[in-house]
Every structure is written in C-alpha cells, then in structure tokens.
Amino acid sequence: EFENLPIYFMRFFGSCPIDMVIDAMEYSHYVHDVRHVILDNLQFMTSGQARGIDKYDVLDTAVQKCRRFATENNVHVSLVVH
C-alpha cells in the first residue's frame, strides 16, 4: 500500500550543479531501488549558474540530464517548474 512505501530526501538546498543531483539520484536508485524522484524546484536549483539567455541553456541541460537518467534507469522523474 502507498502509505507503507519508504520516502527518502536529498539534502540539496539552493543552487547546485545538476551533476551532483544526478549522482545522488543514481546512488539512491542503486542502493535503495528508488523508482520515482521529485525535484522541487528546477529554477531554484539552477539559479545563479548563468546570466541572461545562458540560463536557458543551464535549464535545458538539466532537463536533458534528468531525461537521460530516467530513460537509462527506468525511473520516473517529476520536475517542479515555476
């Protein structure tokens, strides 16, 4: 039943490189067999990593890496974007 499923939290706050987050997701999938990851919030996670139009490249790269992780590991990734 749903209420008996375990829940794990990653300890990332503020801006951090997407590769660090992907590494934590890979570890969680391997060690805990995590099948669903929720990242809240993509803009906050990537804030301050680029300026102007370049910030869209940072967002695009983050989404691309999350998509690759999800596909290669058969893990559902939900991205909160606002």
| Residue 34 near residue 75 (C-beta atoms within 8 A) | yes
Quote the distance between the C-alpha of residue 32 and its chain's center: 16
Q: Which residue has the higher pLDDT, 38 or 56?
A: 38
CA dihedral sign of residues 18, 24, 27, 28:
negative
Q: Is the pLDDT of residue 44 over 90?
A: no
d(CA 20, CA 71): 18
Structure confidence at residue 61 (pLDDT)? 93
Structure confidence at residue 12 (pLDDT)? 84
Sorting pLDDT into bands at 50, 70 and 90, what band is 81? confident
How much is the average pLDDT of 66-71?
Answer: 98
